[in-house]
Homo-oligomer: A and B are copies of this chain.
């Protein structure tokens, strides 16, 4: 059932039907009524594909995230979805799984399908050509993860500052033998957080170059592995505090401690980053830096939509506040 059927049934021209549907031109009450009548009688619904072709829009935006298995990204996704829903726009989900070829695959797909825009949370930290091409053809806004060399609207937090605050919190307890589990070196957030840790370290008089740094991949398992490396040594050589660059890895190190009889926080303190839901569920609860993931998603979507609406958004980049949330994994070092 097409718009022509409706027109016929209502005894008007198709253009008139279109006009009432989109209220794009004045129509007499009489005809409008007849048209609306016909529409419900026939159960007519404008064909999305046709409409898209004509309007040259897809009414859909892509969300590219590295790893839906990390609740942080889910929170972001929720935020995005929440605003899209009010704009009759679909959300197409693309998990890159930290793999360049997947990112490239989705970049091509989204471009070919002429999506209105994409919200991109990089798991790579580097500009693939596919991504660059995407950014040329489509509106792209970055969330959480900045990509050096790509000047695009960005929504995220001041990772360096947040990391510094977190590290200060544990250093203030008196810890001096600390270690860090960092994120993938190529990622902006990882680099920023590390920088923040170092700042706090020097501020507390400890030489950052002396503190062991093992790089994880932001996944839980890598946290566990890092813990094994850091903690699987004679007790006197162990750090008394571990700064983990995200919660998933922090939970991994917590796991390691629990299964190896290492007391948290009695023997080692742990701090994470993100404040994902699990963090309040493990025990002891994970002390961490909370990122407003949901709000990040919302703002990113809002920025994108205002671009699409043709407006130049008031704020094209925004930095949200990360805050310390204290739970049970940080205490004074053992004496």
Which residues of chain A (230-286) have a CB below 8 Å from chain B? 251, 255, 258, 277-278, 281-283
User: Which of B45, B71, B277 makes the CB contact (< 8 A) with A111?
Assistant: B45
Q: How far is the CA of A109 from the CA of B81 in the complex (A)?
A: 14
Question: Which candidate, A87-95, A152-160, A167-175, A187-195, is the interface stretch facing chain B?
Answer: A87-95
Does A46 contact B112, Cβ atoms closer than 8 Å? yes
Given contacts A113-B48, A220-B281, contact A68 B74 (CB under 8 A): yes
Q: How far is the CA of A307 from the CA of B281 in the complex (A)?
A: 42
Q: Which residues on B sit within 8 Å (CB–CB) of A78? A: 68-69, 95
A114, CB-defined interface residue at 8 Å: yes
Q: Which residues on B sit within 8 Å (CB–CB) of A258? A: 283
A53, CB-defined interface residue at 8 Å: yes
Does B46 contact A49, Cβ atoms closer than 8 Å? no
A30, CB-defined interface residue at 8 Å: no
- Residues of A within 8 A of B (CB-CB), count: 45
Which B-chain residue is minimally distant from A73 (CB atoms)? B74
A50, CB-defined interface residue at 8 Å: yes
Given contacts A49-B56, A111-B45, A220-B281, contact A69 B77 (CB under 8 A): no
A128, CB-defined interface residue at 8 Å: no
Q: Which residues on B sit within 8 Å (CB–CB) of A151? A: none
A315, CB-defined interface residue at 8 Å: no
CB distance from A47 to the nearest CB of B (A): 6
A228, CB-defined interface residue at 8 Å: no
Q: How far is the CA of A175 from the CA of B91 in the complex (A)?
A: 47
Q: How far is the CA of A20 from the CA of B111 in the complex (A)?
A: 21
A33, CB-defined interface residue at 8 Å: no
Q: Supply 16 further A-B pairs (C-beta < 8 A) apart from A49-B56, A49-B114, A255-B281.
A: A48-B58, A48-B113, A49-B49, A53-B53, A59-B113, A60-B92, A68-B77, A71-B71, A85-B105, A90-B113, A91-B92, A92-B92, A251-B281, A278-B281, A282-B283, A283-B283
Q: Give me the interface of A with B, judged by CB distance under 8 Å.
A: 45-50, 52-53, 56, 58-60, 63, 68-69, 71, 74, 77-78, 81, 85, 88, 90-95, 102, 105, 108-109, 111-114, 220, 251, 255, 258, 277-278, 281-283
